[in-house]
Amino acid sequence: MPLLHMKEIFTPLKLIGIKVFRCTEGKTYIKVWNQPRKRLFS
């Protein structure tokens, strides 16, 4: 599995524990509380 560099995107959802990330390839990932990151729009 390749090493991806991710940058967190600030959204109001972060206040309730939902984080959104964008990788260098332009794909968007979501992380909910203690769950692993999952890609959106696969």
Q: Where are the domains of the chain?
A: 6-39
Please tell me the predicted confidence (pLDDT) of residue 42.
59
Q: Is the pTM of this model over 0.75?
A: yes
pLDDT (tens digit per residue) in 6-38? 999 999 999 999 999 999 989 999 999 999 999
**Confidence grade of residue 4 (pLDDT, cut at 50, 70, 90):** confident
Number of Cβ within a 10 Å radius of residue 34: 6
Q: Is the pLDDT of residue 1 over 90?
A: no
Exposed/middle/buried for residue 5 (C-beta within 10 Å: 0-12, 13-18, 19+): exposed
Considering only CA atoms, which of 36, 34, 39 is closest in space to residue 22?
Answer: 39
pLDDT for 21 equals 96
